[in-house]
Chain A
Amino acid sequence: MATEERFVINELALRNLTGTTVFSEAVPAMENEFRFTTVRAVTTSSTVTTSPRPVSPLQSIFDDLDRLELRSNYRFKPSKHAVRSAALYILQTYARMGSMFPRPSFVLDGEKGIVIKWERNGHSVRLNCFADPRDADYIYFENDEYDTEDNVTPEVLHNRLNWLLQHEREPAR
């Protein structure tokens, strides 16, 4: 993870954990930091350049999330709450896992919510981010069996993704 990216993640995570940042504040700050990397000047000790730089894994994930909003028709367009929740789950869990964070994909539920999903070797983890803040998000996971987890936190998601990655490292015999 680039030093600059690590700094921003730590900063946002810290502000959120200490209560000085809520979802609605964290995401715009995050957007400012991550969104326009190709045009932002890169400053080094001796030179300033405006050339594009490679998009980080985290930036690439947020680009996918942005595209969801742009391409969707009215009924499927995710609510602001769903987008913010998805972004914050990813940001905070990425901050814990770094390069181990598996790349997710996004699916729209037709009720303005977002499902963040990860799949490996027949195992899947699906985080349901609902459109309405009154509905509690949850994780559904399955292999041969299946279950759900409530009270989604970055720690819960981190543990569930470790479960997914563990099966990737140790496939069923």
Chain B
Amino acid sequence: MNENPLADRPPKNPLVPTCADRVYRAAEDPSWFSEDKQHVDALAFYRRRGNWDSGGISIGAEPYSYREFLTGPVAGVISVHVGHVRDVVDPELQQPLDVQFDNHPHGNIINVPPKEKRGPRRKFADRVASLLARGAARPHEIFDSMHN
């Protein structure tokens, strides 16, 4: 038997971050940060319909991972706490939110309801985005001007 207590721990799955991990989301517009630069707006977590967010809400493993999969300029970087993403609860949420890497360092916040422009599910998407912004996200870095 190996006497090292760490040796019996299952190996970490690189595609599934732990609750203590942080992942990072590119802020595509300066207005996604509050004027006092302390908070992130819910719009950063709206999952758009169509091709943009088909797998979920894009995140990266490191603060500047977005440079590998996003070509446009960004306004800054949002830090997202994985455990707090998993803590988001709402009676309407059929599957819990989670973070998974699909093409490391690219990953997604999965099971986020897509943004609706009408219908009974519309407010639910707003609510989940708000809970993510308030509970799991904070500004990591805000750039002086938009760049990649």
Binds B, one of A10-18, A66-74, A91-99, A160-168: A66-74
- B105 within 8 A of partner (CB): no
- B87 within 8 A of partner (CB): no
Question: 1/0 per residue A8-46: CB within 8 Å of B?
Answer: 000000000000000000000000000000000000000
Residues in B whose Cβ lies below 8 Å from that of A108: 29, 31, 43
The distance in angstroms between the C-alpha atoms of A126 and B134, with both chains bound, is 15
Interface residues of A (CB under 8 A from B): 68, 71-73, 75-76, 105-111, 115, 117, 124, 126, 130, 135-136, 138, 140, 142, 146-148
Q: List 12 A-B contacts (CB under 8 A).
A: A68-B31, A73-B29, A75-B28, A105-B34, A106-B31, A107-B31, A107-B32, A107-B43, A108-B43, A110-B48, A124-B130, A140-B126
Interface residues of B (CB under 8 A from A): 28-32, 34-35, 41-43, 46, 48, 72-73, 117-118, 122-123, 126-127, 130, 146
Known A105-B34, A115-B43; contact A142-B127, beta-carbon cutoff 8 A: yes
Q: Closest CB of chain B to A13's CB: distance in Å?
A: 28
Contact of A146 among B31, B35, B43, B126 (CB under 8 A): B126
Residues in B whose Cβ lies below 8 Å from that of A115: 41, 43
Contact A110 B28 (CB under 8 A): yes
Closest to A109 in B: B43
Known A76-B28, A110-B43; contact A140-B123, beta-carbon cutoff 8 A: yes
Contact B41 A117 (CB under 8 A): yes
Q: Closest CB of chain A to B77's CB: distance in Å?
A: 17
Contact A130 B117 (CB under 8 A): yes
Residues in A whose Cβ lies below 8 Å from that of B46: 109-110
Contact of B123 among A68, A75, A107, A147 (CB under 8 A): A147
Known A108-B43, A110-B43; contact A71-B30, beta-carbon cutoff 8 A: yes
